[in-house]
């Protein structure tokens, strides 16, 4: 099996403070990994560093994507290569319709990959299909990106983009937070529909419940900036029962 993402002994600082203290994680093609861990353990930080958000200083270690040095690439280049991050807190972009945003982004990625732009009718057809399967009404797409969206709508919009861009690595940062039971199932179905042999997912969550819908191949426990334990899907159940206290020392 081919490793899609390899994080090796990663150390990251934010404003002079080290947040990740040597984190190691390997995700193979076709796998779904869950990352769980207490608030502030560095889960979002890891996802931001993989996506290339400015403001993080990598002091040691490396991140390889299909064997290539990811840290050498600009964040938009990473996106075009198939790294997608569904944000824990998606931002609002007033005055830019979701539809316009989707099309601009998709075409930017395609262009970076040397592909032609998607024609308007093809694009529209694709958006309609995907949004329908995610129960996203068309008029939501005419509104400003995430502007006035409910928490759940914002998360669904993230999944919509993921489905549209067809990335090879999907990092989902707490996509379940703020979703009601039905919305959760719809979003999870959307994610499951994207599972494929060439695509891997990293699902960050606090709740085992999500993992009933998106069943992971591997579960990692993060604590204080490190992966302190990895196991099968039953590890999530174990955590649900006993909490993180047992790992605090390990970190």
> Which residues form the interface with Mg ion (CB under 5 A)?
43-44, 88
Nearer to ligand ATP, 134 or 204 (CB): 204
The 3-state secondary structure of the chain reads CCEEEEEEEEEEEECCEEEEEEEEEEEECCCEEEEECCCCCCHHHHHHHHHCCCCCEEEEEEEEECCEEHHHCCHHHHHHHCEEEECCCCCCEEEEEHHHHHHHHHHHHHHHCCCCCCCHHHHHHHHHHHHHHCCCCHHHHHCEECCCCCHHHHHHHHHHHHHHHCCCEEEEECCCCCCCHHHHHHHHHHHHHCCCCCCEEEEECCCHHHHHHCCCCEEEEEECCEEEEEECCHHHHHHHHHCCHHHHCCC
Bridge partners of residue 123, in order along the sequence: none
**Applying CB under 6 A, which of residues 7, 32, 34, 45 lies at the interface with ligand ATP?**
45
Instruction: Name which of another protein, ligand ATP, Mg ion, none residue 152 binds, using a CB cut-off of 5 to 8 Å depending on partner kind.
Output: none
**Applying CB under 8 A, which of residues 73, 112, 140, 215 lies at the interface with another protein?**
112
CB nearest Mg ion: which residue?
44
Q: How far is the CB of 85 from another protein (least distance, A)?
A: 6
Nearer to another protein, 101 or 213 (CB): 101
Nearer to another protein, 96 or 237 (CB): 96
- At which residue do the structure tokens 């998360």 appear? 155
Asked if residue 14 binds ligand ATP (CB under 6 A), the reply is yes
Q: Which positions from 77 through 96 interact with ligand ATP, judged by CB under 6 A? A: 88
Instruction: Name which of ligand ATP, another protein, Mg ion, none residue 14 binds, using a CB cut-off of 5 to 8 Å depending on partner kind.
Output: ligand ATP
Stretch that binds ligand ATP, among 14-22, 76-84, 191-199, 212-220 (CB under 6 A): 14-22
Q: How far is the CB of 27 from ligand ATP (least distance, A)?
A: 18
Q: Is residue 118 a contact partner of residue 90, using CB atoms and an 8 Å limit?
A: no
Stretch that binds ligand ATP, among 3-11, 12-20, 74-82, 97-105 (CB under 6 A): 12-20
Interface residue list for ligand ATP (CB under 6 A):
14-15, 19, 37, 39-45, 55, 88
């Amino acid at each position: 099996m081919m490793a899609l993402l390899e994080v090796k002994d990663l150390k990251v600082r934010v404003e002079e403070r080290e947040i990740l203290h040597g984190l190691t994680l390997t995700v193979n093609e076709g796998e779904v990994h869950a990352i769980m861990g207490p608030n502030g353990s560095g889960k979002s930080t890891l996802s931001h560093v993989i996506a290339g958000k400015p403001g993080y200083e990598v002091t040691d270690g490396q991140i390889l994507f299909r064997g290539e040095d990811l840290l050498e690439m600009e964040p938009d280049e990473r996106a075009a290569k198939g790294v997608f991050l569904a944000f824990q807190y998606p931002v609002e972009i007033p005055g830019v319709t979701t539809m316009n945003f989707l099309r601009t982004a998709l075409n930017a990625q395609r262009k970076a990959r040397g592909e032609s732009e998607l024609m308007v009718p093809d694009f529209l057809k694709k958006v309609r299909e995907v949004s329908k399967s995610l129960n996203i009404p068309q008029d939501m797409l005419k509104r400003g990106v995430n502007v006035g969206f409910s928490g759940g709508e914002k998360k669904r919009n993230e999944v919509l983009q993921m489905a549209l861009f067809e990335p090879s690595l999907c990092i989902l940062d707490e996509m379940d937070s703020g979703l009601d039971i039905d919305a959760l199932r719809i979003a999870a179905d959307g994610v499951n529909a994207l599972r494929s042999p060439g695509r891997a997912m990293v699902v960050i969550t606090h709740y085992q419940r999500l993992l009933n819908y998106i069943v992971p191949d591997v579960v990692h426990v993060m604590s204080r900036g490190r992966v302190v334990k990895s196991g099968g899907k039953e590890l999530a159940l174990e955590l649900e029962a006993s909490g993180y206290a047992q790992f605090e020392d390990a970190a």
